[in-house]
């Protein structure tokens, strides 16, 4: 029973949503399901929050190495949530001030670190060992040059059709696009088959362990 | 050739320093390399330029997070400047939880530059969880999906929303995103409702979206900081803005860092081939 | 140099994260954990303002649409996972979301990523570039076809497919480098302009 009801819910919801695409009279059911979907997802945050809070509270309780950092996470979580709930989220609020001067700079800088690691990795590991690796390297270099102003500057004396930016655009629009389209077909067919398996109950990973 | 092999083993912090210098020096001493506008960006600009002023609104979906802020925020600002100059109504929303804060920052900056009024010229609907139900729900009734704006004001009390019910009242959806959300806009909004979509994406995703450009499912695309820079230039050329072109200023740095990385790759490969030859000779 | 306290806070955060380039250190760890906490706290406030209020509170208590009790009840079942005896009930809302999501996605993906893409691959203008594109699509598909051993014609086709895939990945790598560098330039601009004020 613990698994049968969710499997039935999944099946009915899935089949309805497939059929409604071809059946205009089911429009009101479709709109209702879309509404319910959004309302239910509002509570899904609780799942992610619970895992994170549980992890950090446990670290603090057991005083493991680095537990003070977990305390930082918990204090900042509670503070930000309280400030947002109590003070509102409009421009000019403390909530937006913290978002603009702490959350945005931290997030942006974390990803900016990747530029350094990428350069270091390219220097140490990007080797033209095989024909395939050489092709990858050549394509990468052409795109890197063609997508910045220096690419045009270096070849501006040449006819437009063989300048680096034109070569870059051709590579992106034809061989790259062809490869990406081929991959897209495979991924799309995989997504459809997984969706069908979820609807008919073959794929049951979301049900978790036995009960 | 030994020096090449030694060079390939230098401390990575030296590489970091060189990359940092390559990024900073062109900002201090600009090269003023000209930026050329590509066809895909021009198409987005031309489309927005030709939307009738008393016609439909533009739906701007700010679907990025702080992690991709430096690359995508200049695009959002440039597109907003274009829309506000042309007196187009802008309905702003987001499919990412971090989006409302970012959209606030963008609208707060640009609306003040053009003296645009909230509720009359633009509205921020905020975030609703779920991607597919939100995109599909807008196709039926946008007020049913959002109910209120980002500040809990009933949409029925916002004047400009009286004329906007669903995609029939939206000329163009512009999705600015650092993830695969533009694909969802195509799969749900374009496929089912025929809504026209333009996208602004990070350079990481841009190469993957060329199939959609080729089929016309995207009317155009801004790819990475270069795409943002091209749009800034188009907006400036049309006389719509004299504001600082953040993305364009960064393009000199972009050029120099790319050259430095290419030099690193070439040096690394030369060292590899040199050490391989040395090992063969020893054998 | 800026006198805005917000800018100074942002600078400390930025330098804290960049300090990782030298080596892992307490300032970096502090900034990292602060980011996790602030982000989650942001989501809590946002979900309340943008989720609970417009999608539950207003329909139920202002519009008196009690039909919303059903999805509200299903959503609350997510919390049943905190009580071991009733944890199995949290599968109900998950099942609904997964089922509805899967059902919505099937026709959408079929239309957008298969039929439209197939249409895009067909054309009546036979240029060299078009032929290159069609060969690329078919060769890439043959590379990923594992129902038959790659020998004979299939081996040749998948060999050509690998060439296209490598060019595609190379283009993606080139673009990825551009993306990461752009983020670095953005932070550099912030430090030089908004903080130090030495560039325009």
Q: Show the tokens assigned to A26.
A: 């089911």
| Interface with chain A: mutation pick from C52, C80, C102, highest number of A CBs within 10 Å | C102
pLDDT tens digit sequence for A47-58: 778 888 888 999
Compute the nearest-CA separation of B25 from chain A (Å): 16
pLDDT of residue C84: 85
Compute the nearest-CA separation of A67 from chain B (Å): 26
Compute the nearest-CA separation of C199 from chain A (Å): 19
* CB–CB contact A165 B36 (8 Å): yes
Surface-to-core class of residue B105, CB atoms within 10 Å of its CB (0-12 exposed, 13-18 middle, 19+ buried): buried
Question: Within its chain, how far is the Cα of C180 from the centroid?
Answer: 16
Q: What number of residues does chain B have?
A: 283
| B283 pLDDT more than 80 | no
Taking the C-alpha atoms of residue A3 and residue A132, their distance in angstroms, rounded to an integer, is: 48
> Where are the domains positioned within chain A?
1-67, 126-200
* CB–CB contact B152 C54 (8 Å): yes
Residues in A closer than 8 angstroms to B8, CB to CB, are: 123-124
Of B221, B223, B226, the C-alpha closest to B253 is: B226
| C19 pLDDT more than 70 | yes
| C72 pLDDT more than 80 | yes
Query: Taking the complete model, does pTM exceed 0.90, yes or no?
Result: yes
Q: Does B4 touch chain A (CB under 8 A)?
A: no
Local structure of residue C88 (DSSP, 8 states): G
Q: Does B14 touch chain A (CB under 8 A)?
A: no
pLDDT of residue A205: 85
Q: Does A29 touch chain C (CB under 8 A)?
A: no
Q: Does A23 touch chain B (CB under 8 A)?
A: no
Domain that holds residue C178: 124-200
pLDDT tens digit sequence for A22-35: 887 788 889 899 99
Neighbouring CB atoms inside 10 A of A48's CB total: 11
pLDDT of residue A181: 96
The verdict on residue C117 lying in a domain is no
How far CA A91 is from CA of A1, B4, B108, C11, in Å, comes to: 49, 55, 8, 21
* CB–CB contact A139 C166 (8 Å): yes
Spatial contact of B262 and A145, defined as CB atoms under 8 Å apart: yes
Q: Is the dihedral of CA A57, A60, A66, A71 positive or negative?
A: positive
The verdict on residue C54 lying in a domain is no
| Interface with chain C: mutation pick from B16, B27, B261, highest number of C CBs within 10 Å | B27
Residues in C closer than 8 angstroms to B97, CB to CB, are: 42-43, 46-47
ipTM of the prediction: 0.90
Strands (E) in B48-115, as ranges, are 57-63, 90-94
How many A/B residue pairs have CB atoms within 8 Å? 169
Residues in C closer than 8 angstroms to A110, CB to CB, are: 17, 32, 35
Surface-to-core class of residue B7, CB atoms within 10 Å of its CB (0-12 exposed, 13-18 middle, 19+ buried): middle
DSSP-H helix ranges across C51-152? 69-76, 91-109, 116-121, 128-143
The verdict on residue C191 lying in a domain is yes
Taking the C-alpha atoms of residue C198 and residue C196, their distance in angstroms, rounded to an integer, is: 6
DSSP-H helix ranges across chain A? 4-19, 27-42, 45-61, 67-87, 94-98, 104-125, 131-146, 149-154, 164-171, 177-200
* CB–CB contact C182 B225 (8 Å): yes
Average pLDDT over residues C178-199: 92
DSSP-H helix ranges across A126-176? 131-146, 149-154, 164-171
Average pLDDT over residues C172-181: 93
The average confidence (pLDDT) of chain B is 91
| pLDDT band at residue C123 under the 50/70/90 scheme | confident
* CB–CB contact C113 A2 (8 Å): no
Identify the bridge partners of residue B122 per DSSP, sorted by sequence position. Answer: B90, B118
The pLDDT > 90 percentage for chain A reads 59
The verdict on residue C8 lying in a domain is no
Taking the C-alpha atoms of residue C179 and residue A85, their distance in angstroms, rounded to an integer, is: 35
| A163 pLDDT more than 80 | yes
pLDDT of residue B1: 57
Taking the C-alpha atoms of residue B116 and residue C6, their distance in angstroms, rounded to an integer, is: 26
| Interface with chain A: mutation pick from B129, B203, B224, B259, highest number of A CBs within 10 Å | B129
pLDDT tens digit sequence for B101-112: 999 999 999 999
> Chains that contact C by 3+ CB pairs under 8 Å?
A, B
The pLDDT > 70 percentage for chain B reads 98
| B278 pLDDT more than 80 | no
Of B277 and A129, the structure prediction assigns the larger pLDDT to A129
| pLDDT band at residue B7 under the 50/70/90 scheme | confident
| A70 pLDDT more than 90 | yes
Q: What number of residues does chain C have?
A: 200
Q: How many CA atoms lie within 13 A of B186 on its CB side?
A: 26
Average pLDDT over residues B105-127: 93
The pLDDT > 70 percentage for chain C reads 100
Window 231-250 of B: residues touching A by CB (8 A cutoff) are none
Domain count, chain C: 1
The verdict on residue C90 lying in a domain is no
The verdict on residue C19 lying in a domain is no
Taking the C-alpha atoms of residue A116 and residue B24, their distance in angstroms, rounded to an integer, is: 13
Taking the C-alpha atoms of residue C136 and residue B266, their distance in angstroms, rounded to an integer, is: 28
Residues in C closer than 8 angstroms to B257, CB to CB, are: 181, 184-185
Average pLDDT over residues B125-153: 93
Compute the nearest-CA separation of B283 from chain C (Å): 33
Nearest by CB to residue B27, choosing from C49, C119, C188, is C188
Taking the C-alpha atoms of residue A78 and residue B246, their distance in angstroms, rounded to an integer, is: 35
Compute the nearest-CA separation of B48 from chain A (Å): 23
pLDDT of residue A209: 62
| A211 pLDDT more than 80 | no
């Amino acid at each position: 029973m613990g698994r049968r009801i969710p499997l039935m819910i999944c099946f009915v919801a899935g089949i309805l949503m497939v059929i409604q695409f071809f059946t205009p009279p089911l429009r009101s059911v479709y709109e209702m399901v879309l509404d319910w979907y959004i309302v239910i997802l509002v509570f899904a945050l609780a799942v992610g929050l619970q895992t994170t809070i549980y992890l950090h509270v446990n670290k603090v309780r057991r005083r493991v190495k680095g537990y003070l950092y977990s305390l930082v996470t918990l204090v900042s979580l509670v503070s930000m949530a309280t400030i947002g709930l109590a003070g509102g989220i409009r421009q000019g609020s403390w909530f937006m001030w913290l978002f603009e001067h702490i959350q945005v700079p931290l997030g942006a800088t974390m990803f900016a670190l990747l530029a350094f690691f990428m350069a270091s990795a390219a220097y140490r590991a990007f080797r033209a060992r095989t024909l395939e690796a050489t092709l990858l390297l050549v394509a990468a270099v052409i795109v890197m040059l063609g997508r910045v102003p220096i690419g045009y500057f270096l070849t501006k004396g040449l006819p437009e059709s063989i300048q680096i930016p034109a070569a870059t655009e051709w590579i992106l629009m034809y061989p790259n696009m062809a490869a990406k389209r081929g991959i897209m077909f495979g991924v799309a067919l995989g997504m459809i088959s997984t969706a069908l398996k979820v609807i008919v109950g073959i794929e049951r990973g979301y049900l978790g362990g036995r009960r | 050739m030994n020096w090449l092999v030694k060079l390939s083993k230098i401390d990575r912090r030296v590489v970091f320093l060189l990359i940092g210098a390559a990024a900073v020096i062109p900002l201090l001493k600009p090269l003023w390399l000209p930026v050329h506008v590509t066809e895909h960006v021009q198409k987005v600009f031309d489309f927005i330029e030709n939307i009738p002023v008393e016609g439909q609104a533009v739906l701007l979906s700010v679907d990025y997070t702080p992690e991709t802020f430096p690359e995508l925020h200049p695009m959002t600002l440039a597109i907003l400047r274009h829309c506000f100059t042309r007196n187009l109504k802008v309905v702003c929303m987001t499919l990412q939880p971090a989006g409302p804060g970012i959209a606030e920052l963008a609208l707060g900056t640009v609306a003040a530059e053009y003296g645009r009024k909230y509720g009359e010229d633009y509205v921020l609907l905020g975030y609703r969880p779920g991607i597919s139900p939100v995109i599909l729900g807008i196709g039926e009734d946008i007020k049913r999906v959002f109910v209120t704006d980002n500040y809990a004001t009933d949409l029925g009390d916002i004047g400009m929303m009286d004329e906007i019910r669903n995609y029939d009242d939206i000329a163009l959806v512009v999705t600015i995103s650092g993830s695969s959300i533009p694909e969802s806009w195509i799969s749900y909004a374009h496929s089912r409702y025929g809504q026209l979509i333009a996208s602004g994406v990070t350079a990481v995703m841009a190469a993957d979206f060329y199939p959609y450009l080729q089929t016309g499912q995207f009317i155009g695309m801004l790819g990475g900081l270069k795409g943002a820079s091209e749009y800034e230039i188009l907006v400036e050329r049309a006389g719509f803005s004299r504001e600082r072109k953040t993305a364009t200023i960064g393009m000199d740095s972009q050029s120099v860092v790319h050259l430095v990385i290419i030099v690193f790759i070439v040096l690394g490969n030369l060292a590899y081939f040199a050490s391989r030859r040395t090992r063969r000779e020893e054998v | 140099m800026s006198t805005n306290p917000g800018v100074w806070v942002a600078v400390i955060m930025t330098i804290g994260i960049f300090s990782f380039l030298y080596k892992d250190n307490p300032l970096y760890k502090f900034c990292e954990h602060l980011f996790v906490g602030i982000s989650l706290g942001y989501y809590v406030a946002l979900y309340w303002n943008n989720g609970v209020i417009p999608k539950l509170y207003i329909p139920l208590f202002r519009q008196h649409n009690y039909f919303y009790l059903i999805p509200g009840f299903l959503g609350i079942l997510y919390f049943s996972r905190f009580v071991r005896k009733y944890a199995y009930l949290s599968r109900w809302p998950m099942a609904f979301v997964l089922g509805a999501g899967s059902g919505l996605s099937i026709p959408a993906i079929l239309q957008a990523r298969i039929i439209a893409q197939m249409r895009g691959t067909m054309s009546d203008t036979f240029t060299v570039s078009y032929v290159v594109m069609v060969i690329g699509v078919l060769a890439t598909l043959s590379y990923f076809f594992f129902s038959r051993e790659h020998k004979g014609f299939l081996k040749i086709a998948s060999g050509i497919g690998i060439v296209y895939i490598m060019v595609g990945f190379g283009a993606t790598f080139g673009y990825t480098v551009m993306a990461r560098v752009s983020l670095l330039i953005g932070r550099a601009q912030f430090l030089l302009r908004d903080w130090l004020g030495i560039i325009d």
